[in-house]
Amino acid sequence: MYRTHTCGELRAENKGQKVTLAGWVQKARKLGGMTFIDLRDRYGITQLVVEADAPAKLVETATSLGREFVIQATGEVLERQSKNEKLPTGDIEIKVSEIKVLNKAAIPPFTIEDNSDGGDDLRMKYRYLDLRRGPLKESLTLRHRLAHEVRNYLDAKGFMEIETPYLIKSTPEGARDFVVPSRMNPGEFYALPQSPQTFKQLLMVAGYDRYFQIVRCFRDEDLRADRQPEFTQIDCEMSFVEQEDVLGTFEGMMRSLFKNVLGVDIPNPLPRMSWFDAMDKYGSDKPDIRFGMTIHEITDAVKGKGFSVLDDAAYVGAIAVPGAAEYTRKQLDELTEWVKRPQVGAKGLIYIKLSADGSIKSSIDKFYSPEEIKAIADKVEARPGDLIFVMSGPAKRKVQTMLGVLRIEMGNRLGLRNPKEFAPLWIVDFPLLEWDDETQRFYAMHHPFTAPKPEHEKWFYSNAKEDLERVCANAYDFVLNGTELGGGSIRIHNADMQKRMFEVLGISPEDAEYKFGFIINAFKFGAPPHGGLAFGFDRVCALFGGSDSIRDYIAFPKNNQGRDVMIDSPSRIDQEQLDELQIDLKSAPEA
Amino acid sequence: MYRTHTCGELRAENKGQKVTLAGWVQKARKLGGMTFIDLRDRYGITQLVVEADAPAKLVETATSLGREFVIQATGEVLERQSKNEKLPTGDIEIKVSEIKVLNKAAIPPFTIEDNSDGGDDLRMKYRYLDLRRGPLKESLTLRHRLAHEVRNYLDAKGFMEIETPYLIKSTPEGARDFVVPSRMNPGEFYALPQSPQTFKQLLMVAGYDRYFQIVRCFRDEDLRADRQPEFTQIDCEMSFVEQEDVLGTFEGMMRSLFKNVLGVDIPNPLPRMSWFDAMDKYGSDKPDIRFGMTIHEITDAVKGKGFSVLDDAAYVGAIAVPGAAEYTRKQLDELTEWVKRPQVGAKGLIYIKLSADGSIKSSIDKFYSPEEIKAIADKVEARPGDLIFVMSGPAKRKVQTMLGVLRIEMGNRLGLRNPKEFAPLWIVDFPLLEWDDETQRFYAMHHPFTAPKPEHEKWFYSNAKEDLERVCANAYDFVLNGTELGGGSIRIHNADMQKRMFEVLGISPEDAEYKFGFIINAFKFGAPPHGGLAFGFDRVCALFGGSDSIRDYIAFPKNNQGRDVMIDSPSRIDQEQLDELQIDLKSAPEA
């Protein structure tokens, strides 16, 4: 062992001990002939002192140290005269008698400080240096702690962690698969799992009763910010359960994570909101309930006053932004431009200012009397000082979604979204199916294994589109601060119902047999009622850490082009490898 | 919840309680008008009784139940008159008042019993049914338990579990990589990791000090029995350590696994054996030390007596098989054929029988006097009743290896390899490099990141083949009962030494830069001394379970052709997928 103690553990009570530490030189500075060195390791920073009258060789070594040199230092623990209260080791310093340079370091391309001067690209390229910085160390420590707590909680509840395969079969329903050519079976491919969904259901069929796994999943999607081609799930499944059992179990897990990791108490039981309420009030199936500003429908209140934009709309909704009545014309124009961007897609933005002094000003003054405006304001539960935004359109959910996006933006601008405040809830009662106008077919809102609510089965077996649209599922999402952290459902456990689902989704019997034959078949041999859910672990970590970027919670993430710029991957492979796999590149890659 | 209790928890003290159970019908039998049903779940089996005078509908339902039907049964806990001591629930039975069939089951293709009547192929195809059998349930439970213990132990020792990426870069040094075409970067490929070796070293460079991960690894090798294309490692790395620290830490981990999971005490400290001793005495770098029968060199004792086979040999070795002197001519002939198979590769087998009555009979009687034979027997430490086998050849290690294989075979035949007896040890002091005659180059015995022993560095920088062959490494293997469960080494942490290693291995600077540039570069920025190891987790599970087949310890394994016959993978993919990936198949797969 190169050390007797870590750089984080010495205290005043160690005074007088002879110790050896090893670590990185955070900084070294000369002061009146003495050299002060901040020595850093994972556990902390300890100050080393080489005194002016130390042996010449030692002084010389100390003087030669650069940032990030790796050294081993031996000396005596002294109590400091001027203590540093910011450091846990700030009561002591080491009077060094010997320094050994274990490894030199080139000058790092950016500073290894909590706030680095390096840009994103540079820090990604030298990720191993970026990971030395305090904030990233805290992120990964939090991640380890969370994974460990999850495992302890679930183990104690009788869940078994069972590893499912990574080389599975391509079933292109939903996102794209990453595929892996098989050398031993030329022309055939494995796929990397988008989730272990079918395997965990097979484990229920196999009688494992309570399964979980913290597991990597893969999706070959065009990457948006905060998406990674590989990501980690806390994947869970239980047998002989109803929705209530699943919600109770995992609410308990999240409660214990909040308590044990953050020391935060979350409500018991957690609030629940139906998908319909979430859409109506928050314009989102992942509402941020840390602040109000909910959506109110005002369709009836605005109709028939000669304002054709609203008269022609199928739905008119509004939000009241607290205390924003004094927004300037410029701010309102800027917000109008903001909602017109394709990401939101609004045609315009109607506003009503309710000044604190009782005066009202709006962009629709000429169509509505002050009393009518007042009635609208009452409907929106606006108070003096509030700014009301109104949006409308031919499709209710679309308008609600736009208002929801605007609501979040206003929450951000007004500082209502404190990352240290946690407001989790369950969203329940999702529609089972979503109709897609473009492809003229239904898609599964969760996935094709989700069961309809028993009381909606009559509609599920109907062929009328309206009936199918009414079917709800015992599906549920765990939402925190406007982010979906997890979701799941009670599954289909009956082969005939599963076949019906594929039929509803327009998957031909042949296709269903080819892609999912094994699970339909498995259901014939005694499948228990079962259900489960999965949490996006990267997101759980980020939100627990008070961040909205998952990248800081992944040791070696990829960039938005799916590249790992540190190892320069993906990369070309040898012709020999291609030949062995019996594949050709369609076009030669650029050199 | 579909049940009040599991099928494993009711005892006599629950007498009189009304309970609801859910599970699978293990069997149902009629006996004098009563129906007895064994109801099974993960936790056990409980006997249900439907009495002859129960309501007709209940009797009818009970009579209709087939094997593996999933049912829910409600009734009263009765104390049994004739208790079943083999079942933990054997003191009670449930007098059933209601049965609900939750799911019917087709007749399973094989019996779901501890000893099934199904063949391997059939059981692999219906793996979800095979997994219902007791032995497999025990295997996966053991696996979960072991993983959990490993994590608790390492967490308590300050190790952080850090997830490393699965989509990495192909570095074809060693086994073949599985590759993954990148759609977003046409012509380029990710590779699946053979191990997280470079990433864990980068984590040491990043200052994480103590890392571990229970992680999937991938190797596209031609599969032998007991090899899987994907397998799981307990992967570990530590900074500022010497070999002694690594051995101590992981010896502690294994000791705690043996104690906490199996209740077995293993020696403290564990025995250690140098690689050279292991080869000399056991003809293997993974010796099974549960039994003796060690190899003795008898080269000097047999030379110069006119027997050219031995006179010409560079090395002659022998083992004494205890109590086998009475082997028949037929048995000896059969063993001779056995060692001549290409898997062993011997030219023949010389024997000496030391009968219990003192008489000696051998296949070399005409070249050696009884005294000379006696001298050989003494050298081999043979006792009356033993059978000595002698082998020879031009290459010492090759002969030793053949004797080692014969020794294991004799151990098996004589029942000396009790799977419930555990004899772990460390093999240490491996050669750093292995010369390959065919390609006329050195290969790394562990891997190219293993450091030479400091005292051997002088030879490492020499260009003489003899010098390089003498270099040993601080490398170590954890061996249990003739199987290597894990191995590791102290790593190179210096960029120049790493470059020298690539040079010794005949990897050009350009190639090294292309494949490993990021790690050579990382070493320039302050890499700490570090080392670690990895355990093959599938093997750990199998050996702890007293089995030599890892397949029973993997929920969904692949067969020897790398196929998952349950999901029928790998499989063809759509032309659309190939087009998106911009690859072509070299030859059309057969329809």
Cβ atoms < 10 Å from Cβ of B342: 5
Q: What is the ipTM of this complex?
A: 0.95
pLDDT at B1 over 90: no
Give the C-alpha separation, A343 to A402, whole Å: 9
B262 Cβ contact list (under 8 Å, min separation 6): B422, B544
Q: Which of A377, A393, A413 is the last residue of a domain?
A: A413
From chain B, the residues in CB contact with A221 under 8 A are none
Q: Residue B314 is part of a domain; what is its CATH number? A: 3.30.1360.30
| Residue A456 pLDDT | 96
The answer to whether residue A219 is domain-embedded is: yes
pLDDT of B187-203, one tens digit each?
999 999 999 999 999 99
The alpha carbon of residue A467 is apart from the nearest alpha carbon of chain B, in Å, by 26
Q: What angle do CA A434, A439, A443 make, to 5 degrees?
A: 25
SS3 content of chain A, % helix, strand, coil (to 5): 30, 25, 40
Judge if A477 and A543 occupy the same domain.
no
| Residue A541 pLDDT | 98
The answer to whether B276 faces chain A, any CB pair under 8 Å, is no
Judge if B403 and B307 occupy the same domain.
yes
Mean pLDDT to the nearest integer, B41-46: 97
Mean pLDDT to the nearest integer, B519-547: 96
Contact A24 B571 (CB under 8 A): no
List all residues of chain A from 340 to 379 with a beta carbon under 8 Å from chain B.
none
| Residue B591 pLDDT | 46
From chain B, the residues in CB contact with A494 under 8 A are 103
| Residue A217 pLDDT | 97
A139 Cβ contact list (under 8 Å, min separation 6): A541, A545, A547, A552, A553
Judge if B399 and B304 occupy the same domain.
yes
Give the C-alpha separation, B464 to B380, whole Å: 37
Judge if B18 and B99 occupy the same domain.
yes
Contact A587 B199 (CB under 8 A): no
Judge if A398 and A351 occupy the same domain.
yes
The answer to whether residue B486 is domain-embedded is: yes
Nearest residue on chain A to B211, alpha-carbon basis: A144
pTM: 0.95
List all residues of chain A from 91 to 150 with a beta carbon under 8 Å from chain B.
102-106, 108, 126-129, 131-132, 137, 140-141, 143-144, 147-148
| Residue A539 pLDDT | 97
The answer to whether residue A112 is domain-embedded is: no
The answer to whether residue B111 is domain-embedded is: no
| Residue B566 pLDDT | 94
| Residue B587 pLDDT | 66
| Residue A115 pLDDT | 92
The answer to whether A180 faces chain B, any CB pair under 8 Å, is yes
Cβ atoms < 10 Å from Cβ of B514: 15
**Residue A529: which of B2, B131, B554 has the nearest Cβ?**
B2
Mean pLDDT to the nearest integer, B554-576: 93
Best mutation target among A71, A126, A202, A571 (most B Cβ atoms within 10 Å) is: A571
Give the C-alpha separation, A495 to A519, whole Å: 8
**Residue A160: which of B127, B140, B167 has the nearest Cβ?**
B140
| Residue A591 pLDDT | 47
Distances (CA, A) of B570 to A291, B147, B190: 50, 28, 18
Judge if B325 and B397 occupy the same domain.
yes
The residue range of the domain holding B480 is 423-527
- Count structural domains, chain A: 4
Two tokens at A297? 């429908």
Mean pLDDT to the nearest integer, B248-257: 98
Q: Residue B222 is part of a domain; what is its CATH number? A: 3.30.930.10
The alpha carbon of residue A320 is apart from the nearest alpha carbon of chain B, in Å, by 43
Beta strands of A240-359 (E only): which ranges?
272-274, 296-297, 315-321, 350-354
Mean pLDDT of successive 10-residue stretches along chain A, which has 591 residues:
96 98 96 95 97 95 96 97 94 98 96 92 96 97 98 98 96 83 94 96 98 97 84 98 97 98 97 98 98 97 92 96 95 96 94 93 93 94 96 96 98 95 97 92 91 95 94 97 97 92 92 86 96 98 94 95 93 91 76 47
pLDDT of B74-131, one tens digit each?
999 999 999 999 999 999 999 999 999 999 999 999 999 999 998 999 999 999 999 9
pLDDT at B226 over 80: no
The alpha carbon of residue B373 is apart from the nearest alpha carbon of chain A, in Å, by 52
Judge if B355 and B334 occupy the same domain.
yes
List all residues of chain B from 203 to 262 with a beta carbon under 8 Å from chain A.
203, 205-210, 216, 218, 220, 222-223, 229-230, 232, 240-242, 244-245
Judge if A404 and A455 occupy the same domain.
no
% pLDDT > 70, chain B: 98
pLDDT of B382-409, one tens digit each?
999 999 999 999 999 999 999 999 999 9
The answer to whether residue A243 is domain-embedded is: yes
Judge if B221 and B303 occupy the same domain.
no
| Residue B228 pLDDT | 94
The alpha carbon of residue A285 is apart from the nearest alpha carbon of chain B, in Å, by 27
Contact B188 A24 (CB under 8 A): no
pLDDT of B8-32, one tens digit each?
999 999 999 999 999 999 999 999 8
The answer to whether residue A115 is domain-embedded is: no
Judge if A375 and A443 occupy the same domain.
no
Mean pLDDT to the nearest integer, B518-524: 92
Judge if A74 and A153 occupy the same domain.
no
Contact A126 B527 (CB under 8 A): no
The amino acid at A447:
H
pLDDT of B461-513, one tens digit each?
999 999 999 999 999 999 999 999 999 999 999 989 999 999 999 999 998 88
Judge if A520 and A560 occupy the same domain.
no
Q: Residue B85 is part of a domain; what is its CATH number? A: 2.40.50.140
% pLDDT > 90, chain B: 90
List all residues of chain A from 509 to 548 with a beta carbon under 8 Å from chain B.
517-518, 522-529
The alpha carbon of residue B376 is apart from the nearest alpha carbon of chain A, in Å, by 47
Cβ atoms < 10 Å from Cβ of A572: 17
Best mutation target among B126, B567, B576, B584 (most A Cβ atoms within 10 Å) is: B567
The answer to whether residue B564 is domain-embedded is: yes
